[in-house]
Each structure stands twice: as structure tokens, then as C-alpha cells.
Amino acid sequence: MKIRILIALSLSLIAGPLAAQTVTPVIPVGAAVQQQMMAPQAPSAPDTRPLALDARQLSLGGALKTPELWQAYKAAFITESGRVVDTGNGLVSHSEGQGYGMLLAIAANDRATFDRLWGWTRANLMVRDDQLLAWRWDPTRRPAIADINDASDGDILVAWALTEASEFWGDVALKVAARRIAVEVGRKLVVYKTKFGALLLPAVSGFAAEDRQDGPVVNLSYWVFPAFARLPLVAPEIDWRGIVQSGLDALKASHFGVGGLPTEWVSLRNGVARPADGFPAQFGYNAIRIPLYLAWAGIGERVHYDPFAKWAKDFGGRAVVDISSGREASGFGESGYQAIGALALCVTDGKPLDRGALVAHGPENYYPATLRILVNLAAQMRFPSCLR
Amino acid sequence: MFALKSRLQAGVVAIALLAPGLAFAQAQSFIVDMPNAAAPAAAPAPAARPAPTPAANPAEIAARPDVAQAPLRAAPILGDGEGPDESALRYYAQLGQMDRVNVEIERLVRLYPTWTPPLDLFNGEPPGNPDEDVYWELFASDKIAELQAALDARKREEPNWQPSHDLATKLRRKELRMRIMSFWKEGRLQDLVDFVKKDGYNADDADVEMLWTIAEAFAKTKQTTDAVSVYMSILKSGADQPARLATIQKAMAVLRMNDVEKLIAAGRVDANGVSEFAPIMVDIVRARISAYLHDERVEKIPANELAVFEEYAKTAPDPNQPGLVAWYFYKTKTFRDALDWFKLSLEHGGDAMIAHGLAHSLRELDMRRETEEVAYAWREPLVNNLILFIDILERDLTLEFPPYIEPERLARYAKVTMDVASGEGAQALAWYAYNSCQYEVAEQWFQRAVAWFPKEATVYGYALTERKLKRDKIFWDLMNRYDGLFGKVVEIIFPDGYYHPPTPCDEMANQKLRPMQQKIGNYVVPGSYPVAQPAGAPFNPNMTAAQAAGYVPYAQYAGDYGYRQQAPEPPKIDRKLFPVAIDPENPLRYAATAAPPASTPAKFAQAAPQGPLQREPYHGPYPLVADRVPGVGAMPYESYGFTLLPGWNGINKPTSPTYAAQIAPAGTLWATELPEKDRPKTAMQAGSGGGGAMVAGAGGGSIAAGVNGAPPEVAPTSVPVAAPAANTQSSVSTPAVRVVGTPIGVAPAAPVQPTPVVPAVPTAPQPQASAAPSAYGAPATVQPTAILTPQAPLTPQLPEAADAGTLAQRAMQFFNEKNYAAALDALDRRAPLARETTELRMVRGWSLLHLQRPEEARKAFATLGGTSGQSLQGSR
């Protein structure tokens, strides 16, 4: 197994949560990829066909049609007490992972496991003095809460899961909890009336214009687009549509470098998008989720998907990309990541998803396994034509 | 306290934001006055109309006298913007082909049931060439491709032949319309506007309905300027009045009101200064209110315009119309008017959101008891009300000297808390029990609170309780588990070195101190030791027992006030107890108790089998030294020279200010809230024009002052909030009747639930289960030792309360808020209704003392022995 390092370890003084993803050390660009990148590209006319997207309001409850995937996922990553274990990252847990687990439990109609997950989440992560969740929990440390800051994607994922669960199981207690978190997101994490509209901060602390010279800094993968269509069920007063639009607009403005891919962290200072200071200017473990969320919500236009489709074609969906050079900075390593590239090509080209990419062929870590099962779920909900 | 206020503020923010949503929804459902959306060609010549004259001020539309009574209403315009094409009909009419005229009329009526043939059907242009009949038939049946093919064939046969100008023009128009409508129906709005911009369109070729469609497409693709231009072109054309009115209404549905105002300003004004848009003034004002609620409009609605809408809303069957007025007044902080309009809306069938507005209006008017009732009654239809119900009572429950709360109210609060697994409710009940010296009960609630929402103050209360109960294992587990995270918790074993007074419960338990207590009359004033009045010394009514003891409250949070009794020395702590390794996972879990609904969507889905889960993969070793946590301040033991390990991201210093104390980022709703210290406690304090936007914080506090609301260790209760400057005159509803004067939302149709009878302790197996309600029913005594600073007397003007219970509750509340004049006033008004209990008599006595009326106070205390009712001494 490759040695993994935490993204933010080199950014020790930058306050705030980072998505609990891992990166592999930078390795030389592989010959095959180099050859691929150097190969002459035949100019082609831009594809202007409208995308066949499905943005209907869909309930998540019971939407997962492959229960065996859920059973395997549970057995591998969810403890008996309801903790989702990031096996590739020192066995830590985080709000984002709890949110993913809760969403999958709802999709699998697994109320018992959902209750374990939510019970653990609130008992261990809701230690802040507001309604948001501390983002990182590490069983090897004292205290286990490694950071009192929140991560807005984790907050949103949990609020979304509670919303879906309250609708699916008719549970008012979950609706109360969902509303409290969702309103707090709208209150503390959204900067309104910017040049991009209602911007989602990555966390309460550390990323606003007051906190950084290049602030506000955003993480475009924290826009959990499918959540924003459902959160009005519990917090209709929040401008979720405006948040969606700002995400789409910020993404459109963040086509950096030759590949047009966004970086993990983007500065939107003065309404201008550029790679944020102090972070590697890479498309990697965070931003890979952007096409997943777009497709899962059934929104966006070609201009939003095309860079990811190109990345899927150029790199097989396997590469962390250095934005300035457009080259592979490292490989994602495990095969689960490739499912996202396949989903992007399903959206843009109608290309059927490779069955082999939808199931694991051996042990894998939490994060790629999560992305893979989420791609399954998104495809089953929004792109069944790609599963035939 | 801060946390709760934040939640309440969020709730109000929610209201403020939701109101526009409601209004917007209303605005989008305009019914347009457009019985005959005739094409421009059918309208009178522009020259026949008065010259357009922009209104001097778009905000001033002189109302026509009959507007309010009979606003112009008409049939809705079709959503797709299509209307009947009368071209073929007119052609046949000009040719005098009556059979075809009738067939075409039948066809159009079938397609457009509300359409009627134009009166000028036979007064049009001269007919075209009769040999075009076949082409007109194809035209009339929308067979455009066949028509084009036929025309092309004819041209090939007769190179010099051209279709008549009329046919060519109308064919071009129809092709344009069909193309645009095709885009529209397919939702390809961007393609539509691209087509229009690329190919251009001649306004002469576009009927008004097509122009509406084009304008709406521009608006929805955010090309606002183009949308305004298209709407403006309609107004500047010869469109008739219904079309002009409908244009404004269409524009209001898709554009911001600021843009619509430009169109309104371009309207014509008659000699009397009346705008041509006066017939739809109600709709315009509604949209302006909506814009105001959306923060898209800064100016308030002019009084004359608002009056017109109010007149309409009063009698409108739709409860959302008075509801809109109510939200407007709420937004303008005119809460008394908001209350009246919410009431009216509810009388008209307003929904739970209206009730929510009503409840928040009551809260802003400091009618907390009524707020609680309304929120409770409407808790099931709308979760917002349920949350408000939990939060509004939370403050009272967490006061150091909690006001009297009837057992049935506590019971229902406990049931709701259990039903929805509310951490907020559980900690409130826990503190109430703790401050009532009911530690066993407190433990049960704290366990749930820590399972559901383990914030610092709650864990702190749990630890205090476990120490009281001498459950050492649990206590030290908490010390070790939250070491490094919750300084307030660890401070229990690392005291801050300041003197803290004993709690009332401590006093009761300490028999040794009893002889030192102060006696007034026959009554031993609890909490009064160690005041030992020197013999013959004059009684100083301004000195509290705590002051006499040298204590300044909460001094640990403001060094200027306090003093250290001794230099800090490391406390002696058994190293077998702290620090020790511990599994960091919080093991507490409790499920909500709400009964599941009979049917849910989940019942129709395949339930997942219960496969195996993973065993916890990490079993230690667990560290003994805490890591630095980003966002957290210093630990108490750092003052003794101990230190922490670097945090996960390398930080090695405590965070200052802590994340909990950070300043809200500009642009967030959070930032629009006033700082806690500056926040008005009531709407009256906010004043009509004062206060910041989104001020909502009257809801009250959580558990205490201090870090994250955590109270000092031996006084784990809250600082009384500032006294309300009560200035309201209204009816008040009692818990039993709830309606005095006009109904306030507890109309018979409201979903009032029967009062549940539940144990106040959370789980059945607990031994306190059956006894708890009665335990709660005995309120904690009023121990005014912490009431330190005499408050300037304020004259309360409270709503009339109808029963002794409410007045007693108010008196307690005012006393806790140090508003002694208000407390006395409530007691005086209660006096004719019921005998004064010991607690209330104590409130009276101490209030009088604080108001520097010592002789009256002595009399009040002297009669304590002669009163009946629950008392501290009697119940303990």
C-alpha cells in the first residue's frame, strides 16, 4: 500500500477542514500518459448537442437497486457503533463519511444501520456550540475530535441524509435535526450577494474574505448539488437554487490550464477565480467529486462536464492532474475513482458504464469504494440508460 | 445562552426568508386580466390612444376608487404564451366564405374555449387572391411544410408567380411563431433567445403573446435588459389595455420588481393623474411587498398603497393575502400590526407557517407564554413550530432560578423532547432538574442530552451531576474523554482559583451553614449566609448575601471584577484517575420515541437485510496527553505549566479567539445579527426603528454565561437576561383558555393536541419515572442571592393576563430578569386572584428590597410563615 499523506499537513497554519481525502506522493508522469498527452489531437468541432439530463425531484429512499454492494460496504467500513472508518487515512472518521454512510443506508432502506450511523454522528461530532458538525474524528488522539471546525460538505451531506430519511421513513425527529443543520448552513456558511451569488464557504472558520488574503476560498466539490434540490423540504427559506447557480457559475469560471479542470481549492477574491494560494494547484481527490454531484443532480451543461469528460478520455479517469502543466501529478491509485470518469462520459457521450468499473475486484479503501457505490447509485437514479 | 439565541435567530431568519418565498409564490400565481389577448393588428391605431406619459413616480399609482373593491380579474393567460391565430379566419371572412368561416370558428373555439370571434372580423383588409384558397387551407391547418412545398411547386411552374403579400406575411409570422413555440415547449430557452437574436424578429411579425414568450425566455435566461426591452416594446406599441395590464403582470412574474418599475413608469397617466395600471394596483403592490420581503426593495410601501392592499387582503378568501401583510409588518418590526394580521390570516384559514409567524410575533412582543402555546398547538403540521416550542421554553428551564412551570407543561415538553430526541430540550430539562436539586433526574436528561448534542455546556452539566451523585467512574471518564476539547469541563478538576458561591442546593445540604443564615421574621432566607449582620448594624437592602460574602458573580470571565482567593496551585489529582487512557468514543445512544407513522414510503421498498458490520478496528493504545485542537482555547491546567501536544495540523498554541468566539464572516446571515451583548432582548427594546436586521434574539438563553454558555462550576445556571422594557398592551391568552379578545391561532380548527401524560424522566426503567412530574411540579425556590445589581425600575405594560398561573410565571420571569418593578406589578395583579405562595412572597420581598423599599420587604418576609403553598423549606 502506498504511503498516504494528508493534504493539509503541509498547510499546517491554514485553518479549516479539508475533505478527508488522501493523496499519493507526486510521481513522474508515466510514459504511457506522456505518449497520450503528446499524441496529436485532431481538431474537432465542439459538441453542442443538449445533454440528456434528468433533474426531476427524486427521493433517495430505496433507490439503490444493488443491495449486495451495500452489504459489502457495510461490512468493510461501518462499525457496530455506527462509525464510518476511513481505512486509507489512519482509521479516522469525518462528517463527510458519516453523511455518505447515512445516504447509502437510506438508499438501501436500512433503517437499523442508519440509526447507528446517525447516533454515532451526533454523539461524537456535534460537539460545536452551533448546529454544525466537527469535521474530523481520530480514535488515536486525545481528544478524538481533531478539529473543532466544520466542513460544509459534511454538514450538507448529513442534513441531506436526515432530510431524505425523514421523508422516507416519516420520522419527524429526523426532520427536526435536518432543519436545524440546514438552517445553520444557510446562516453561517453561505456568503450572499457576492459577484458569484450565494457562495458556499468550506467551513465556518478559515476561508472567508476576512480570513485569507485570497479569500473567499471555496472548494467546488463541497457543492453537493443533489442535496440542494432536497433541502428545501426542511429549510425552504434558504436560497438553495442560488447556491446551485453560484456553484455552476464558479465552476464555469474555474476552467484552469490546458485541460480546463478546476483546482481543489479556488480563490474567488474580487469575483475572479484562480487557484487558491497555499494549496497544490491540482485537480485531485476533492474535485473528482464535482462531476459525480453534477450528474447525480442531473444539472449542468456541456461546459460544466466537458473538462471532466476530457480528463476521463485523456487519463482514463485515473490521474491527479497538475493544473499548470496539464499533466498527471500522480495516480489515484485505486480503481474506484475511475467510476467517476465513466459516469462523466455517460453524461456527455451516452457511453455505457463499464460493468467492471462498477464493482470492486478486491479489497479497497473507504474513499474509492464510496465513490464507486455513489456512482452506482447516481447512475441507477439518473442514467439507467448507461447501465444497460 | 448564545447557542439558543443563535438558534432562535436562525429561526427568525428563517421566517424572514420564508416570507418572501411565500410572497413570491403568490406573485407567481397572478391571474391576468386578459379576456381577449388580441394581436396588435386588431387593436386601435396608436394615434387613437392618449400619448404615453411616464408616471412621475412609479411608486405612486393613484388608486381608482373602485380598485380595492373590484380589482380587475380575468381569465388566465395560457402558460405557453400561445393564442388563437385568426389569420385564416379573417381571410375567409374577407372572401365571404361563410362555411369556412364557421368551420374555422369552431376549430378555434375547440382549441381556445374562452376565445370569441373578433367583432371586426369583416372589417379587415381586402381579400387576397382567390386562387390561394388551397394555400390558406394548408395555412389554417398548420401544415406549413406542405404549404411551403406547394408554394415552391407553384413557383417552379410559374416562375413569375408570388404569393400575395398577405399570405407571405402571415406565413412568415406563423413560421416564426411555430419555431419559437417549439423551442418554448421543449424548454430550450437558450436556443429560443439565440434564435431570436440571430435571426432577428420584426415586432410587426410577432403578436403580443409571442412577445411575452420571448420576453419570458430572456428573463429566464437572465437577459434581463432584453426582457425589459421586449416588454417595453409591447407598451410602446398599440396593444390594448388588457394586453398592457397583462404585460405588467407577466413581467412581475419573471422579473425583479426594480425592472418592472421601469415598465410601470412608462405607463400612461390620465388627466387626473391616474395611472393606466391602477386596475391592477393590488397586484403591483403585492409584488412590491414581495420585493421588500426579498430585500430587493429598500423603500417601505407607501401608506396609501399599503392601505389599498390591506383593504383587499381583509376580505380576500385566500389567507395568504393577509399573511403577506403580516409578514410585511413583521419585516418592518411592527410586531403589533403583524400579530393582528397573522390572526386575521389564521381566521381565514392560514396554515402552520402563518401560525409560525404569529408565534414569532408574540415572541417579539415578549409574550413568551403565548408563543409557547401557539408553537405547541401547531407543532405537528410544521416542524418550525416544534423547534420554536422547544427553544422558547429552553430559556426558562435553564435559568438559575427557574420560574414556576406547571407540571403538565413540563410533561408535554418532556414528551416532545423524547419524541424528537432533542438535545436542546434534554439539556434544558437536565438543567432544570439540576437547579431543582434533583440530580437523579438530571442525570437521566443529561445522558440523553450528551447523546444527542454533546456541546461543552451540556457535557459540563453532566459531569457536575455525576460528581454530585458520586458516580466517579462516569465523572472521570468525562474528564479524560473531553480533555483537550472542553476546557470548561476540565476546569471542574482544575479550578480557576476564584471564589464561587455555593448553589442553593449546596446550601440546603450543608447543615453546618444553616445557623449562619439570615433570618427575616420567621423565615430563614436561603442562600443568605454567611451574612452575619453585626449587632445593631443597619440593614443594607442593597447588599446581597453573595456580596456580603465577598463574591462578585462571574468574575472569572472578567478579571476586573473578581479576585483570586489564592495563587493557583496545581490541584492534587489522583494519577490513577486523570489523565488516564480512555476510548474516546462517546458511548451514549438513545432513540427518539415518536411513534412511527402508519404508512411511509419505506414500506413500499425492499428493506435491506441486516448484514454484518465491522468491529471497531482501533483498540488503542490511547494517549494520555491531549493534542491541541484547532479552534479550541487553552486548557485550565496550562496555567500550572502543563502543555499539550501539537494538533493534527501541527498547531501548538491554543486558538485565540476560539472558533466559538470568532466574528461572523461578512455577507452571511450570521453577520447581520447583532453581537450578543448588543442584542435587544425584546422587540420593545429594539424599538420601532432600532436594532439590526434579522434581529431575533429575544428568545433567550441556553444555560449560562461563560464559555459557550457554560456557567461557573458551583453556580451552573444562567445569568439573568436584561430586563425587558415592556411596553405592550394587548390581550394575553392563558394556558387554559388561550384566547382572549381575538383568537390568536388556537382557533377550533387548530390542531391542538391533548396534553400528554408522560414521565419527566426519559426512560421507563428509571426509578424516577413516575415521580418526576410531581418533582418538577415543585419549582425550585427563588434564591435571589445572585441578583446583584438593582435594576432601574421600569414600568411594565404587560398584556392582560387572565389567570393567576400566568401572572405567577410572569412574576418569576421578571424577577429572574431583574426587572423587579415588573415582577411586583405582576404579583399585585395576581393578588386578587389567588393566595400568594411562599415562593411568590419571597419574590415580592426581594423585589421590594431591590427597589429600596426595605420596610415593605420586611413585611413581606414576615408573613412568609402564614402563607400556604409550596415552599423551598417545606418541600425539601
Q: Is A96 a catalytic residue?
A: yes
Looking at residues B152-173, what average pLDDT do you find?
Answer: 85
pLDDT of residue B549 exceeding 50: no
Which of these ranges, A192-201, B150-159, B803-812, B831-840, has the smallest mean pLDDT?
Answer: B803-812
Gyration radius from chain B CA atoms: 37
Handedness of CA B143, B148, B152, B157 (dihedral sign): positive
| Residue B514 covered by a domain | yes
pLDDT of residue A366 exceeding 80: yes
Is B440 or B676 the better-scoring residue by pLDDT?
B440
Q: Are residues B649 and B536 in the same domain?
A: no
- What pLDDT band is residue B382 in, cutting at 50, 70 and 90? very high
Mutation for A interface: B668, B676, B694, B707, most A CBs within 10 A = B668
| B chain contacts of residue A48, beta-carbon cutoff 8 Å | none
- Cβ count near B145 (within 10 Å): 10
Comparing C-alpha atoms, which of A326, A328, A335, A337 is closest to residue A28? A328
Task: Tell me if B631 and A147 make a contact (CB, 8 A cut-off).
Answer: yes
| A chain contacts of residue B601, beta-carbon cutoff 8 Å | 59, 61-62, 167-168, 170
Residue B850 φ/ψ, nearest 5 degrees: -70, -25
Q: Are residues B528 and B638 in the same domain?
A: no
| B chain contacts of residue A109, beta-carbon cutoff 8 Å | 602, 605-608
Spatial contact of A62 and B605, defined as CB atoms under 8 Å apart: yes
Task: Tell me if A184 and B10 make a contact (CB, 8 A cut-off).
Answer: yes
Burial class of residue B752, CB neighbours in 10 A (0-12, 13-18, 19+)? middle
Task: Tell me if A204 and B618 make a contact (CB, 8 A cut-off).
Answer: no
Residue at grid coordinates 467546488? A220
Task: Tell me if B14 and A110 make a contact (CB, 8 A cut-off).
Answer: no
| B chain contacts of residue A188, beta-carbon cutoff 8 Å | 664, 668-670
Task: State the count of interchain CB pairs (< 8 A) between A and B.
Answer: 288
Task: Tell me if A191 and B662 make a contact (CB, 8 A cut-off).
Answer: no
| Residue B425 covered by a domain | no
Q: Which residues contact B458 (CB under 8 A, 6 or more apart)?
A: B423, B427, B430, B446, B449, B450, B703
Q: Does B647 touch chain A (CB under 8 A)?
A: yes
| Residue B834 covered by a domain | no
| B chain contacts of residue A173, beta-carbon cutoff 8 Å | 419-422, 592, 594
Report the residue of chain B nearest A59, measured CA to CA.
B601
Task: Tell me if A74 and B611 make a contact (CB, 8 A cut-off).
Answer: yes
Q: Are residues B60 and B145 in the same domain?
A: yes
Q: What is the pLDDT of residues B810-820, one digit of tens each?
A: 787 778 777 78
Q: Does B709 touch chain A (CB under 8 A)?
A: yes
For helices B335-347 and B303-315, what crossing angle results, to 10°? 30
Mutation for A interface: B649, B676, B695, most A CBs within 10 A = B649
Burial class of residue A356, CB neighbours in 10 A (0-12, 13-18, 19+)? exposed
Report the residue of chain B nearest A92, measured CA to CA.
B618
Residue at grid coordinates 420581598? B845
Q: Are residues B528 and B644 in the same domain?
A: no
| A chain contacts of residue B24, beta-carbon cutoff 8 Å | none
Report the residue from A12, A85, A175 with minimal CB separation from B614: A85
Distance of CA B238 to the CA centre of its chain: 47
Looking at residues B365-393, what average pLDDT do you find?
Answer: 95
Is B143 or A263 the better-scoring residue by pLDDT?
A263
pLDDT of residue B575 exceeding 60: yes
Comparing C-alpha atoms, which of B332, B364, B326 is closest to residue B346? B326
- If you average pLDDT over each of A288-297, B202-211, B250-259, B268-277, which comes out highest? A288-297
Q: What is the pLDDT of residues A19-54, one digit of tens each?
A: 333 322 222 333 333 333 333 444 556 676 778 888
Is B59 or B341 the better-scoring residue by pLDDT?
B341
Task: Tell me if B485 and A79 make a contact (CB, 8 A cut-off).
Answer: no
Q: What is the pLDDT of residues A81-138, one digit of tens each?
A: 999 999 999 999 999 999 999 999 999 999 999 999 999 999 999 999 999 999 999 9
pLDDT of residue B80 exceeding 50: no
Q: What is the pLDDT of residues B631-665, one digit of tens each?
A: 999 999 998 888 899 999 899 999 988 998 888 99
| Residue B527 covered by a domain | yes
Is A152 or B55 the better-scoring residue by pLDDT?
A152
Q: Does B298 touch chain A (CB under 8 A)?
A: no
Q: Are residues B69 and B162 in the same domain?
A: yes
pLDDT of residue B792 exceeding 80: no
Spatial contact of A315 and A321, defined as CB atoms under 8 Å apart: yes
Q: Are residues B657 and B508 in the same domain?
A: no
CA pair distance B227, B196, nearest whole angstrom: 12
CA pair distance B874, B778, nearest whole angstrom: 10
Q: How close does chain B come to A377, measured CA to CA in Å?
A: 15
| Residue B827 covered by a domain | no
| B chain contacts of residue A190, beta-carbon cutoff 8 Å | 668-669
pLDDT of residue B2 exceeding 60: no
Is B35 or A41 the better-scoring residue by pLDDT?
A41
Looking at residues B358-363, what average pLDDT do you find?
Answer: 96
Residue B645 φ/ψ, nearest 5 degrees: -80, 160
Torsion from C-alpha of B37, B40, B41, B44, nearest 10 degrees: 90
pLDDT of residue B488 exceeding 90: yes
Q: What is the pLDDT of residues B511-541, one digit of tens each?
A: 555 555 444 444 444 334 433 444 444 444 4
Mutation for B interface: A22, A93, A237, most B CBs within 10 A = A237
Alpha helices in B556-648 (DSSP H): none
Q: What is the pLDDT of residues B132-159, one digit of tens each?
A: 888 888 888 888 888 889 899 988 988 8
Q: Are residues B515 and B649 in the same domain?
A: no
- What pLDDT band is residue B782 in, cutting at 50, 70 and 90? very low
Residue B635, domain extent? 625-661
Question: What local confidence, expressed as pLDDT, does residue B167 receive?
Answer: 85
Q: Which three cell numbers stand for residue A321?
A: 492532474
Q: Which three cell numbers stand for residue A283?
A: 485537480
Q: What is the pLDDT of residues A75-89, one digit of tens each?
A: 999 999 999 999 999
Q: How many residues does chain A have?
A: 388
| Residue B202 covered by a domain | yes
- What pLDDT band is residue B608 in, cutting at 50, 70 and 90? confident
- What pLDDT band is residue B204 in, cutting at 50, 70 and 90? low
Report the residue of chain B nearest A176, measured CA to CA.
B383
Question: What local confidence, expressed as pLDDT, does residue B40 receive?
Answer: 31
What would the DSSP string read from start to end of B441-492?
HHHHHHHHHHHH---HHHHHHHHHHHHHTT-HHHHHHHHHHTTTT-HHHHTT
Comparing C-alpha atoms, which of B251, B265, B257, B254 is closest to residue B286? B257
| Residue B244 covered by a domain | yes
CA pair distance B861, B521, nearest whole angstrom: 6
Average pLDDT, whole number, for chain A?
Answer: 88
Average pLDDT, whole number, for chain B?
Answer: 70
The single residue of A138, A153, A164, A214 carrying the catalytic annotation is A153
Looking at residues A200-210, what average pLDDT do you find?
Answer: 96
Domains annotated on chain A, with CATH: 66-188 (1.50.10.10), 189-388 (1.50.10.10)
Q: What percent of chain B has pLDDT over 90?
A: 33
ipTM: 0.88
Residue at grid coordinates 487512557? B581
Is A171 or B57 the better-scoring residue by pLDDT?
A171
- If you average pLDDT over each of A354-363, B284-293, B395-404, B594-603, which comes out highest? B284-293
CA pair distance A378, B271, nearest whole angstrom: 63
Comparing C-alpha atoms, which of B244, B246, B280 is closest to residue B50? B244
Question: What local confidence, expressed as pLDDT, does residue B811 receive?
Answer: 80
Q: Are residues B530 and B645 in the same domain?
A: no
Q: Is A153 a catalytic residue?
A: yes
Is A171 or B761 the better-scoring residue by pLDDT?
A171
- What pLDDT band is residue B237 in, cutting at 50, 70 and 90? confident
Q: What percent of chain A has pLDDT over 70?
A: 88
Q: Are residues B642 and B551 in the same domain?
A: no
Give the total number of structural domains in chain B: 3
Task: Tell me if A173 and B670 make a contact (CB, 8 A cut-off).
Answer: no
Is A326 or B200 the better-scoring residue by pLDDT?
A326
Q: Which B positions 568-597 lie with beta carbon below 8 A of chain A?
A: 579, 582-589, 591-592, 594, 596-597
| Residue B71 covered by a domain | yes
What would the DSSP string read from start to end of B796-807?
--PPBP-SHHHH
Is B601 or A164 the better-scoring residue by pLDDT?
A164
Which pairs with CB-CB distance under 8 Å and at least 24 residues apart come from B691-695? B691/B333, B694/B9, B694/B12, B694/B13, B694/B16, B694/B669, B695/B9, B695/B12, B695/B333
Report the residue of chain B nearest A16, measured CA to CA.
B630
pLDDT of residue B67 exceeding 50: no
Q: How close does chain A come to B382, measured CA to CA in Å?
A: 10
Task: Tell me if B613 and A80 make a contact (CB, 8 A cut-off).
Answer: yes
pLDDT of residue B703 exceeding 50: no
Question: What local confidence, expressed as pLDDT, does residue B715 receive?
Answer: 28
Question: What local confidence, expressed as pLDDT, does residue A15 receive?
Answer: 34
Q: Are residues B116 and B233 in the same domain?
A: yes
Is B555 or B425 the better-scoring residue by pLDDT?
B425
Is A164 or B772 the better-scoring residue by pLDDT?
A164
pLDDT of residue B692 exceeding 70: no
Q: What is the pLDDT of residues A225-262, one digit of tens each?
A: 999 999 999 999 999 999 999 999 999 999 999 999 99
Which pairs with CB-CB distance under 8 Å and at least 24 residues apart come from B405-409? B405/B432, B405/B776, B405/B779, B405/B809, B406/B735, B406/B777, B406/B805, B407/B773, B407/B774, B407/B776, B407/B777, B408/B755, B409/B372, B409/B735
- What pLDDT band is residue B571 in, cutting at 50, 70 and 90? confident
Report the residue from A142, A190, A193 with minimal CB separation from B622: A142
Question: What local confidence, expressed as pLDDT, does residue B240 receive?
Answer: 83
Q: How close does chain B come to A159, measured CA to CA in Å?
A: 15
Looking at residues B205-230, what average pLDDT do you find?
Answer: 87
